[in-house]
Chains A and B, each alone.
Chain A
Amino acid sequence: MSEDDTGQVPLGSDGDPEGDGLIGNLSRRDLIKGTLGGVIVASNAYLFDHVAVAAAKTGTGGPSVRQRFSGTLTLNVNGRKRTVNVMDQDTLLRTLRYKLGLTAAKFGCDRAMCGACTVLVDGKPVYGCTMFTRDAVGSEITTLEGLEKNGQLHPLQQAFLEDLGGQCAFCTSGMIMSGLSLIKSNPNPSRDEIKQGLSGNLCRCGNYENEISAVAKAAQRM
């Protein structure tokens, strides 16, 4: 992702790329201003008195633009030094995926609700969507892509392969990283401890049993 031609980065009204502060495309700023646009004719119109509609930002050709930090950072990713150009508000997930091409960690929700973006930062599981890239400088970042060594699968990867640990596998990267961190801190986890360790990773396919058995199998082998 790049800045625009002027080197300045236009922001959504709350810095949120989804512009999704409240309702649909309404921004928090507009709701507070209470701007109401348009003619309402239906009999239920009174119900919408409190719903603000974003007004056009007329005339001068764009919302106010602030100079934001953007700069070059050096990250330690999977044992290598990587240099990236980031914006202040870029999250680690966004940087890993779109700047470094490490697409194993996924956007499941971008709101710290699902764990599909789990990576390890200094060995601890972190939701990449909720960590600023700039805050990861100086730490060891580990992603799924860093587990395979010289064509040899990591025991967790091998176990997930054998035990059909993924159905659609969109959650698999996060599951494996959470599993890795669990085993590192608890080399012989019980079934219950495995469940707790993976409780921050949603699997909509409901493949939990295979994920548990894969983590247990890997723990035995590590």
Chain B
Amino acid sequence: MASNFNLVGKDYIPPDVRAKVTGRAKYADDYLFDNLLHAKTFKSPYAHARVKSIDTSAAEKMSGVRAVLTYKDVPAEPINQPALDGEPLVFGTPVAAVAAVDEYTAADAVDAIDVEWEVLDHVIDPIETLKPGSPNARSDGNIPTGKSLSEAQARQTKSNPTIDTVKWDNADFSTPYPTNAGEYTVNWSWGDVSKGLAKADHVIEDTVEAHPVVTNPMEPRSNVAYWQSNGKLRVWGSSQSVGLTYFGLAGAVGANPADVSMILNFCGGGFGSKGTNYPQMSIPALLSKEVNQPVKIRGTRREEFYWGNGRSSNVFHFKIGFSKTGRITGLDVQTVADAGAYSSNALSNISGALTALSANLQPETMRARAIGVFTNTPKRWPMRGPGQNQAALAVEPLLDRAAKELGIDSLKLRLQNVPTTGDPAGENKTPLTSAHLGEAYQMAAQAFGYDQKKSLNGKREGNLVHGIGMGSASHQSGYVGFDGLMAIHPDGTVEIRQGAGNLGTYSYSDVCRLGAETLGVPWDQVTVGWGRSDRSSFTLGQFSSNTTFTTGLSQVKAAETAVSYLQEIAANSRGGGPSDYQVANGEVSNGSGDSMTLAEAAKAAVSMGGKYTGEAIPADLKKSLNPMTLAAAGDLVGKALIAFGHSGGPDLKGFVDSFNAAMAHVTIDLGTGKIRVIDLADYGDSGTIVHPASYHAQIQGGAIQGIGYALTELMRFDEQTGIPINTDWYQNKPPSILDYTEQPLKTGGVNKPDPYGPHGAKGVGEPPYGAAASAVTAAIQNGLGATFQHHPITPSDVLDKIAAGETKVS
């Protein structure tokens, strides 16, 4: 248990908090420049169209306009959205961009651009595009193909899925989910599901949709770029991550990474949508290149609704077999996934969703079939997960339904099926490095008062009916192959040049706590480095609930390097062998009176040079360190003890997965349809909890967002034109402070270490969301005795069910 730590598991005040409460924290739109130009974009008014001709001459002639670019001037992208597109595939896609002396002038110039359009067929519904003779969202096809990779893997391996066309010629589309489905691009099995279903005592079959929502971080994506005539490009950007954003942007605009630097200190939320670079970041860079002045694009809220990324959607068809005790004997899942027109993210959705189903439910047999499609809807990226939370929303209420129909307790059914350490996950049945979902459920049940509350389910109280439900979710949360970097200065301070971005999770600082724990250095001697690409070690992006494990592990590796150097330096200086020495409490000592402070050791390192100061890099590290990491140490070489670390294959065997379980109590007003969440408990298995206050905040935040997913948020499109119609917060509402439980949510964690995690830590960001959302939708369905195939579940939906006589409310 996490009881012997100095830093891990203890709360502290991270180094950016004072700036946040004083207003000194600078987000991309807060940097002020003397000669700043402002950019606006000319956007497509159609769901799918092609530019026949574009005339920017009037805009160019306008006083105050300094540069105009069109899609002809920017690099193309095979699948992903180019900065400007001549065949915009989504309403609102930028086609041209203007840089002018102020925003008003820029907007006028945009109005003065004339485009002749060829309007093309569009498709909004993912099932529609599989019908023979139906439109394709893209001229080059309607499905992304290739290996189902998580976005993280795709970025790491630089693999580019391709595009194809698939129609289900023989399917019957008259049912909610097509029967006699055609080709799937993803097919895998655990055992023989037909046998598993055949032996089941009870089978539940249903079609359920997980709907698209807009990510909508509080900070719209603004970016400032200054591409100087000497080739150096500096960007003050809004991004969750550093390394991937930096390399991604350099690639997108055709700059040499060595010439690019990014300032990414503060990001006003991302939730996946700003996980790496994105087209709006390219636009000011390309404009700046024309004029050798800084150019800002100030993102607007409305733009977030159609280019701010959102959650990909699924239509699932489940056939689940249960034994009479509630054990899942067979899980047959088919899904069509949709991530919009500009993203192959449907493949990540599928991979994430199917893996999560297998991991959380541990079916005895399973068959997974899936296909991703393109539609002319806003590009979707992971939003608190690419697909795991969609799967949770869709499947968890079915488990409660099975429990009800089998006459057994819901929690008992869940506990029959939860994974434990070593159980398989995903297509390849990779063993889970740790799994304590059962304990998370029990902790949630305890905090929630499940034994007392469960009898409330279906109980009438005047016009209200009570509903009790539960759900769980998971997300892969650990990767290896990344770098850490620590420097011990001659003054004894330990500077940790970690590479995580800062979007509000505090993981950029918590990974330094992990490294500092290994080094045994008092926290007040530690300087946390973050927010500058030229001082960041290379790590994975801040998504996928992974930072604490992935970046934390790479920093622990760097600390281990530092420890071994300190031992060698102490032996060299004080005598004996390195293994005689221990590093703790800010010094290296042998317990018999020979010791050096970190400052003394660093000074000795500087005089010894070689690998101790980065003047020589050990061969194994040289092979594996990213150039970004080496460059991040550049100004320190020869001046401090420099310790690199790299996490690799031997550091991880298995599948790192974090889990959450939630229980919800709702009331439904049968007269108005209004749903209130009365109580919600959400507990997680995230390995060792590193920073308790932030851990609880992540669960609360995820749960509250999840309530929005369940009850109020949805991307809606005009059926005929495909144009998004609810593009502001009044019509597409995220939870306000009045829209969740009246009393505080109940949150916590199992806090058992993962064998591969840095000091046992895993990750937390995403599972709380799906667990909460599914618990709420399950509670509604349980309380009403109704099933819902579509979400969100709004008052109108409730009243429709009541009017149709499809509830069991007395």
Contacts and interface: CB of A to CB of B under 8 A. Distances in A.
Interface of A: 1-6, 9-13, 16-20, 23-27, 30, 37-45, 47-48, 51, 53-58, 61-63, 87, 97-98, 101-104, 106-111, 113-114, 116, 143-145, 147-148, 153, 157-158, 160-173, 176, 192, 195-196, 198-199, 201-212
Chain B interface size range:
35 or more
Interface in B1-54: 13, 17-18, 20-23, 25-27, 29-30, 32, 38, 40-46, 52
Interface in B559-577: none
Given A62-B62, A104-B23, 13 more contacts: A12-B108, A18-B300, A27-B111, A37-B114, A38-B119, A54-B114, A103-B23, A145-B22, A167-B504, A168-B270, A204-B217, A208-B700, A212-B737
Contact of B697 (A26, A114, A164): A164
Interface of A is mostly: loop
A101 B218 contact: no
B218 A48 contact: no
B79 interface: no
B217 A44 contact: no
B737 A199 contact: yes
B792 interface: no
A195 B738 contact: yes
B548 to A, nearest CB: 15
A107 B13 CA distance: 27
Nearest to A51: B45
B608 interface: no
A113 B58 contact: no
Contacts, number: 285
Contact of B504 (A6, A24, A168): A168
Contact of A144 (B22, B113, B703): B22
Interface in B458-485: none
22 contacts: A1-B103, A12-B107, A17-B104, A17-B107, A18-B302, A25-B45, A51-B46, A53-B115, A61-B62, A104-B23, A106-B268, A114-B301, A145-B22, A161-B13, A161-B17, A167-B504, A168-B219, A168-B266, A168-B503, A169-B504, A205-B218, A206-B702
Report the 7 A-B pairs with minimum CB-CB distance, sorted nearest first: A104-B23, A170-B268, A56-B114, A168-B504, A206-B704, A167-B504, A206-B701
A201 B218 CA distance: 10
Interface in B79-114: 91-92, 101-108, 110-114
Given A11-B108, A27-B111, A62 B103 contact: no
Given A10-B64, A107-B220, A42 B105 contact: no
A101 B26 CA distance: 11
A113 B104 CA distance: 22
A37 B49 CA distance: 14
Contacts of A30: 111
B117 A172 contact: no
A208 B740 contact: yes
Contacts of A13: 111
B119 A41 contact: yes
Contact of B117 (A38, A44, A58): A38
A56 B121 contact: no
Interface stretch (B310-318, B422-430, B630-638, B727-735): B727-735
B107 A202 contact: no
Nearest to B106: A17
B22 A153 contact: yes
